[in-house]
Amino acid sequence: MKALNIAVLGATGAVGQEMLKILAEYDIPVNELRPLASAKSVGKCVSFKGKDVPIQEANDDAFEGLDFVLGAVEGDMSKRFAPAIKKSGAIYIDNSSAFRLEPDVPLVVPEINGADAFNNNGMIANPNCCTIITLMAIAGINKISEIDKMIVCTYQAVSGAGTNGINELNDQMAALARGEKPVVKTFATQIAMNVIPFIDAPYGNDYTKEEMKMQNEGRRIMHNPDLKVNCTCVRVPVMRSHSMAVTLHTKEKVSVEAAKAAVAAYPGVRLIEDYEGRCYPTPLDTTDQDLVWVGRIRDDLTDDHGLTLWCCGDQIRKGAASNAVQILKLLAEKM
C-alpha cells in the first residue's frame, strides 16, 4: 500500500478522534495527515502516532492533493463540502446520513458488500451505527437462507449523541449523587436512571428516521430491496457500545446449530456461548474494539422460520470510525 494523503473532516469530534486513533492502530501508511475542523479549532493540535499535528480550517481549498477524506461531520456540513472534495479528486468516505440513500453512492460494510465500494464516483457512505452492528450479527445467517424480515429493538448508548451525550450522562449521574436535579440539554428528557424510546426526528409514519434507517439502509447493503424491518430505537444510560435484540425470519428454516456455526465463522463477528459464565455479551464487553459480539441465538417461538439473537458492538468504532477506515484500507490496497 502506498503512503497516502488523508484528511479527517471533523477531526475534533468523538468520531473524528477515533478515526485518527484507528488510522494509527491499523498502521495505514500516511504521507500527510490533514485534520480539518472549524475556524475556532485552528491553532490547536491533534495527536497522531505520538506527534502533534496542527488542525487546519475546513474550507473549499482544504482538500487539494488528498487521496482520501474521512468525514466525521453532520449531514449539512457534509453536503456543504462534498462538491469541493469531489472536485479535488479525493475519495470521500462520509459517516453522515447525507448520502446513504443516493443510488450512485455505495453504502458499504466491507465484510458484507465490500465489492460495492469499488463502484464509486468519488464518494462512499458509511452506514448508520445500529445498521452496521445488526447486519454484521445476522450476515452469516443470511448466507444460509435469505432474511426477508426482522423485528429489532435497539439499546443505544449516549455516545451515539457524541461528546455532548457522554457529558450529559456523566453530569446527570453526578448531580443525582449530590442530591441535585439533573440538567437536561442534549436529550429530550433525563437520561440518567432512565430510557428514552425515541431517537432522531419523526419519519412521517409514526416511526423515527433512526428506526427507518435499519430497513432503508439494510436493503442496500444486503442487496435485498424487499427486506422488511420493524425497528424501535431506545436511548439507554450506557456510555458506549450499542446493543440490539433481533428477531429475524428466513425463507428457509435455519436451525439454531447452523445459525451459531454461521455466526461464529463470519469475519468481524464473535459468537458468545460461554463468556465469563454467561451466554451473552454486554456493552462493556464490546467497548473499544471492532468485533460484533453475538449471543443468545435461539428459536423464535412465534415463527417456525424465525430466530432470535442479542448482539453488541462499539458504536464509535465498528459502528462509525473503524468501518470508514476499513473501507479506506480496502480501496487503498488496490491503488
The letter for the amino acid at 55 is I
pLDDT for 1: 83
Q: What is the dihedral of CA 135, 287, 49, 136, to 10 degrees?
A: -10
Helix (H, G, I), strand (E, B) or coil at 279: coil
C-alpha cell at 1: 500500500
Phi and psi for 192 in degrees, rounded to 5? -65, 130
pLDDT for 288: 96
Nearest CA among 130, 155, 129 for reference residue 239: 155
Buried b (16+ CB within 10 A) or exposed e, 84-114: bbbebebbbbbbbbbbbeeeebbbbbbbbbe
Give the C-alpha separation, 316 to 166, whole Å: 12
Cβ atoms of 217 and 131 within 8 Å: the answer is yes
All domains of the chain in start order, with CATH = 4-127+320-332 (3.40.50.720), 131-315 (3.30.360.10)
Nearest CA among 106, 130, 311, 315 for reference residue 221: 106
- The continuous run of DSSP H or E covering 211 comes out as helix 209-221
Q: Rounded to 5 degrees, what angle do the CA atoms 68, 72, 78 make?
A: 80
The percentage of residues in the chain with a pLDDT greater than 70, rounded to a whole number, is 100
Cβ atoms of 136 and 112 within 8 Å: the answer is yes
Parts of the chain with a pLDDT under 70:
none
Buried b (16+ CB within 10 A) or exposed e, 159-181: bbbbeebbebbeebeeeeeeeee
What spatial distance separates the first Cα and last Cα of the chain, rounded to whole Å? 7
pLDDT for 162: 87
pTM for this model (two decimals): 0.96
Give the C-alpha separation, 210 to 327, whole Å: 23
Beta strands in 74-205, from DSSP E residues, in sequence order = 91-94, 123-125, 147-156
pLDDT for 244: 98
Residues 170-205: pLDDT tens digits? 999 999 999 999 999 999 999 999 999 999 999 999
**What is the set of active-site residues?**
129, 242
Give the C-alpha separation, 80 to 169, whole Å: 31
Give the C-alpha separation, 126 to 134, whole Å: 14
CA distances from 10 to 15, 68, 264, 311 (A): 8, 14, 35, 29
